[in-house]
């Protein structure tokens, strides 16, 4: 019996590099004088990458078996070779590899007197020029960790060499290849939840049922639309109350038998493909009873061509009730739950999976990914929503002056209270230990917030590859929950059988400030800013933050109070003028006009016009405002951004009140953030898309109810900013 529905094998696809890497000395040397034979350049290059390649390929040849010396070939590291610049290297016995990785080079250990950037190459043991799936890995904390993709393969003296650049010399290194395979995806749903529209799952598991004290099962099935996926509801026995019921059932043989019968009947009567048991808190003393229960239930279900899945915690050094060898033989799927704290996760999960796949067929194992963010205080962690975490990061405050003293012309000090180091907090940054974007709040109790997104999930999916697991299970695959949309990277793994690792650029994590209602906010970047209040009135300041994937803005409402009325200027009375006869005019030179004194553009010279229209499924295919469409249809919003300033400006941000974090793309499919617009071409205050001073971008969203969508665009000349907003009304008929 198949554990999963069949799938087409994945297409071969070359790995892509998410972020450009700096040019290394190897690249520059190869580009010099291309008309010459490169051999003199390679031989003459005695520093940096070229020296290292030559030493590894040529000088190591006899030491590592290339010179015909059988004795030296068997030596696995007693000798080392100096590579110059205080760097030594030696070959060593490669540590054990997980089943999803294959060695493509020898394993080398390096010693360096200081940390210096270096371009490095290792000779390959196979004759290949294809970099797909190849990466530089280091062995650290008892697990393999990928440092970089193989950027390029070159040939030196008959040896194929894979190379890339590093910020410092690694402690050890080998080139490994990820072995491609077919992966399955399971999605868990809250009761009555609906799948996210981007979810592409093979198994759907609504959390609909709980065990009862008499061995029966209670709950009501979630209506899941018919689709090409197996319906395997979850019986949740992991809460404090239901875990106690599970343990009581396991202690009593008659209750175990009744529970087996109740589950088998539920699956048959419901027409389900199988059942998933989340019995993750079984008393360690009940291990034998749990194994007997699982084997009995598996026999009943398999006899009816049904499947059995277990959702359990990872193997641990502490006593557990789970005999992995017996459970792995009995069931079709084992979903491994994650540990909440990201740092503890990476300290524990790789070794746990290594242990698990010794007892269980890796193809039966699915790694559970939790798309919720995490808040941690001390050793206590709890899941929080994705937007909830972002909202905490985007909370702004006024630090000076007091509310009563905010008057026209007064400088107002703004601060991101949960990111600014002056507030005892720490800014958004990539946490290498937890492989996640994080920040910390100040105060009496220091809270750490870990924002789960596609970046952090991709690192976890690499373990699915490395250990050749059967696939991945998403802890909440619903459309209604406040979780990160990680389906892009998960669907990419299924389609290409590979995952590209990337970390967000530091600059993308830097907050920015906007003043769409007016006032000078300067450059408007960083965890603090100064806003010069304009005339009296109510204003919104927007603090924009990013997790590296999306940008979000949170409003900080401010009121500028009326300033003091200026005192009347005293009237000075002059005596009557004495008229003096004018002499006859003498010839004089024509006066020279004074030069113009126009200086650096001020904030008031920056002007912007934004226009927004929408187009739904009505027959006219015209972008309009208001626009009529049917419920559940896709609506495309079209935004025109027109620079009416006398200087070039760069689009700094686009903030949408209905779809936070949306990416607006031009006709080439590129995000317009960062696009520079030419100075005003003379259209002045009309929002036109003609000329180099304008840009047009679009984004599409599914609309289920009438909505008024407002977009705010901010531009900068590098010193000042300007913003403008426009709305489009969509009427659902």
Which of 19-28, 225-234, 310-319, 675-684 has the lowest average pLDDT?
19-28
Q: pLDDT band at residue 574, thresholds of 50, 70 and 90? A: very low
Q: pLDDT band at residue 658, thresholds of 50, 70 and 90? A: confident
Q: pLDDT band at residue 534, thresholds of 50, 70 and 90? A: confident
According to DSSP, the β-strands at 608-615 and 707-716 are unpaired
Which of 78-87, 252-261, 424-433, 569-578 has the lowest average pLDDT?
569-578
Question: Which strand (E) or helix (H) includes residue 148?
Answer: strand 143-149
Taking the C-alpha atoms of residue 663 and residue 660, their distance in angstroms, rounded to an integer, is 9
Question: Which strand (E) or helix (H) includes residue 449?
Answer: strand 447-451
The answer for residues whose C-beta is within 8 angstroms of residue 656's C-beta and 6 or more apart is 662, 709, 710, 711, 712
The closest alpha carbon to 441, from 419, 471, 469, 461, belongs to 419
Q: pLDDT band at residue 443, thresholds of 50, 70 and 90? A: low
Question: Which strand (E) or helix (H) includes residue 246?
Answer: helix 240-251
What phi-psi label fits residue 236: left (phi over 0), alpha (psi between -120 and 50 degrees) or beta? beta
More confident residue, 333 or 152: 333
pTM for this predicted structure? 0.64
The answer for residues whose C-beta is within 8 angstroms of residue 404's C-beta and 6 or more apart is 561
Highest mean pLDDT among 523-527, 615-619, 634-638: 634-638
Question: Which letter does DSSP use for residue 517 in this model?
Answer: T
Taking the C-alpha atoms of residue 169 and residue 528, their distance in angstroms, rounded to an integer, is 36
pLDDT reported for residue 588: 34
HEC readout, 649-692: EEEEEEEECCCCCCCCECCCCCECCCCEECCCCCCCCCCCCCCC
Q: Are 245 and 211 in contact (CB under 8 A)?
A: yes
Question: Which letter does DSSP use for residue 58 in this model?
Answer: I
Taking the C-alpha atoms of residue 64 and residue 108, their distance in angstroms, rounded to an integer, is 11
Peptide bond into 320 cis (omega under 30): no
Mean pLDDT of 517-527: 87
Q: pLDDT band at residue 135, thresholds of 50, 70 and 90? A: confident
Give just the sign of the alpha carbon dihedral 645, 651, 657, 662. Answer: positive
Q: How far is CA 221 from CA 217, 224, 695, in A?
A: 12, 9, 50
Mean pLDDT of 649-672: 85
**pLDDT surpassing 80 at residue 61:** no
- DSSP of 386-402: HHHHHHHHT-EEEEES-
**What is the Cα 727 distance to its own chain's centre?**
29
Mean pLDDT of 20-30: 30
> DSSP H helical segments within 271-323, as ranges?
287-303
Q: pLDDT band at residue 626, thresholds of 50, 70 and 90? A: confident
Q: pLDDT band at residue 180, thresholds of 50, 70 and 90? A: confident
The closest alpha carbon to 459, from 429, 423, 486, belongs to 486
Spatial strand order of the sheet with 230-231 comes to: 217-219, 209-211, 234-236, 274-278, 307-312, 333-336, 365-369, 471-474, 184-189, 203-206, 230-231
pLDDT digits (tens, 9 = 90+) for 100-111: 788 999 999 988
| pLDDT mean across residues, the chain | 81
Percent of the chain with pLDDT over 90: 46
**pLDDT surpassing 90 at residue 151:** no
Crossing angle of helices 487-496 and 454-466, rounded to 10°? 30
Question: What φ, ψ does residue 7 adopt, rounded to 5°?
Answer: -135, 155
pLDDT digits (tens, 9 = 90+) for 81-92: 777 778 888 889
**CA 275, 280, 284: angle at the middle one, nearest 5?**
125
- DSSP of 474-487: ES--BSSSS----H
Highest mean pLDDT among 75-79, 511-515, 659-663, 673-677: 511-515
More confident residue, 587 or 627: 627
**pLDDT surpassing 70 at residue 210:** yes
**pLDDT surpassing 50 at residue 590:** no
More confident residue, 101 or 55: 101
pLDDT digits (tens, 9 = 90+) for 591-622: 333 333 334 455 557 888 888 989 988 777 78
Taking the C-alpha atoms of residue 562 and residue 406, their distance in angstroms, rounded to an integer, is 9
Contacts 24+ apart (CB under 8 A), 669-676: 672/641, 672/697, 673/551, 674/650, 675/650, 675/651, 676/648, 676/649, 676/650, 676/651
pLDDT reported for residue 666: 87
pLDDT reported for residue 688: 60
pLDDT reported for residue 431: 94
Taking the C-alpha atoms of residue 316 and residue 515, their distance in angstroms, rounded to an integer, is 52
Provide the b/e sequence for 321-357 (b: ≥16 CB within 10 Å).
bbbbebbbbbbbbbbbbbbbbbbebbbbbbebbbebb
pLDDT reported for residue 564: 59
Percent of the chain with pLDDT over 70: 82
Give just the sign of the alpha carbon dihedral 278, 482, 432, 343. Answer: negative
C-alpha distance across the termini of the chain, in Å: 49
Taking the C-alpha atoms of residue 513 and residue 519, their distance in angstroms, rounded to an integer, is 12
More confident residue, 301 or 505: 301
**What is the Cα 498 distance to its own chain's centre?**
17
Length of the chain: 733
**pLDDT surpassing 80 at residue 294:** yes
Provide the b/e sequence for 512-539 (b: ≥16 CB within 10 Å).
bbbbbbbbbbbbbbbbbbebebbeeeeb
pLDDT reported for residue 445: 67
More confident residue, 643 or 364: 364
Taking the C-alpha atoms of residue 438 and residue 545, their distance in angstroms, rounded to an integer, is 12
The answer for residues whose C-beta is within 8 angstroms of residue 192's C-beta and 6 or more apart is 206, 222, 223
pLDDT reported for residue 178: 81
Mean pLDDT of 545-562: 92
**pLDDT surpassing 80 at residue 144:** yes
């Amino acid at each position: 019996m198949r554990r999963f529905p069949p799938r087409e094998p994945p297409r071969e696809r070359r790995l892509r590099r998410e972020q450009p890497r700096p040019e290394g000395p190897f690249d520059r040397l190869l580009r010099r004088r291309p008309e010459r034979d490169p051999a003199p350049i390679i031989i003459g290059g005695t520093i940096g990458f070229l020296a290292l390649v030559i030493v590894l390929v040529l000088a190591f040849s006899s030491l590592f078996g290339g010179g015909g010396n059988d004795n030296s070939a068997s030596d696995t590291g007693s000798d080392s070779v100096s590579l110059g610049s205080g760097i030594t290297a030696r070959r060593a016995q490669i540590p054990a590899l997980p089943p999803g990785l294959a060695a493509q080079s020898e394993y080398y250990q390096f010693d360096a007197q200081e940390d210096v950037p270096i371009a490095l190459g290792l000779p390959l043991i196979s004759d290949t020029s294809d970099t797909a799936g190849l990466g530089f890995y280091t062995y650290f904390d008892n697990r393999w960790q990928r440092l970089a993709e193989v950027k390029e393969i070159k040939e030196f003296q008959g040896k194929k060499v894979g190379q890339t650049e590093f910020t410092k010399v690694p402690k050890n290194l080998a080139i490994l290849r990820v072995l491609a395979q077919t992966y399955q995806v399971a999605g868990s749903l809250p009761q009555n939840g609906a799948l996210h529209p981007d979810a592409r799952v093979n198994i759907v598991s609504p959390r609909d049922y709980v065990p009862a004290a008499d061995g029966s099962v209670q709950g009501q099935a979630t209506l899941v639309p018919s689709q090409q996926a197996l319906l395997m509801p979850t019986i949740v026995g992991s809460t404090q109350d239901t875990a106690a019921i599970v343990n009581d059932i396991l202690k009593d043989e008659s209750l175990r038998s009744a529970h087996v019968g109740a589950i088998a009947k539920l699956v048959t009567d419901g027409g389900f493909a199988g059942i998933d048991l989340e019995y993750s808190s079984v008393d360690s003393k009940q291990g034998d009873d749990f194994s007997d229960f699982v084997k009995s239930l598996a026999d009943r279900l398999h006899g009816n061509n049904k499947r059995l899945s277990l959702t359990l915690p990872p193997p641990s050094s502490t006593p557990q009730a789970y005999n992995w060898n017996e459970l792995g033989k009995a069931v079709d799927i084992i979903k491994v739950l994650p540990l909440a704290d990201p740092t503890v996760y990476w300290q524990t999960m790789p070794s746990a999976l290594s242990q698990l796949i010794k007892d269980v067929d890796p193809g039966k194992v699915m790694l559970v990914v939790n798309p919720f963010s995490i808040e941690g205080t001390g050793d206590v962690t709890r899941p929080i929503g994705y937007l909830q975490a972002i909202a905490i990061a985007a909370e702004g405050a006024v630090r000076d002056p007091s509310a009563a003293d905010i008057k026209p012309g007064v400088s107002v000090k703004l601060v991101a209270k949960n990111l600014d180091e002056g507030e005892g907090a720490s800014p958004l940054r990539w946490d290498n230990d937890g492989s996640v974007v994080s920040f910390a709040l100040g105060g009496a109790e220091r809270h750490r917030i870990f924002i789960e997104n596609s970046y952090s999930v991709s690192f976890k999916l690499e373990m699915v590859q490395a250990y050749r697991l059967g696939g991945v299970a998403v802890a909440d695959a619903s459309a209604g929950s406040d979780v990160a949309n990680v389906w892009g990277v998960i669907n990419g793994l299924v389609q290409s059988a590979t995952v590209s690792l990337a970390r967000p650029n530091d600059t993308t994590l830097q907050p920015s400030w906007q003043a769409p209602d007016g006032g000078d906010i300067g450059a408007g970047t960083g965890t603090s800013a100064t806003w010069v209040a304009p005339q009296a009135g109510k204003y919104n300041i927007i603090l924009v933050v990013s997790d590296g994937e999306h940008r979000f803005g949170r409003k900080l409402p401010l009121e500028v109070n009326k300033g003091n009325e200026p005192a009347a200027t005293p009237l000075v009375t002059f005596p009557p003028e004495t008229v003096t006869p004018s002499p006859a005019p003498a010839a004089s030179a024509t006066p020279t006009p004074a030069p113009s004194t126009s200086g650096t553009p001020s904030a008031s010279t920056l002007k912007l016009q934004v226009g927004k229209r929408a187009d739904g499924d009505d027959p006219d295919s015209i972008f309009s405002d208001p626009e009529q469409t049917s419920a559940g249809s896709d609506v495309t919003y079209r935004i025109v951004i027109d620079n009416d300033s006398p200087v070039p400006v760069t689009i700094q941000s686009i903030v949408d009140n209905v779809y936070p974090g949306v990416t607006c793309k031009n006709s080439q499919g590129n995000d317009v953030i960062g696009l520079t617009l030419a100075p005003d071409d003379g259209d002045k205050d009309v929002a036109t898309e003609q000329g180099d001073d304008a840009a047009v971008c679009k984004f599409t969203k599914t609309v289920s109810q009438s909505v008024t969508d407002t977009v705010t665009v901010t531009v900068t000349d590098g010193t000042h900013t300007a913003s403008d907003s426009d709305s489009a009304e969509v009427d659902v008929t």
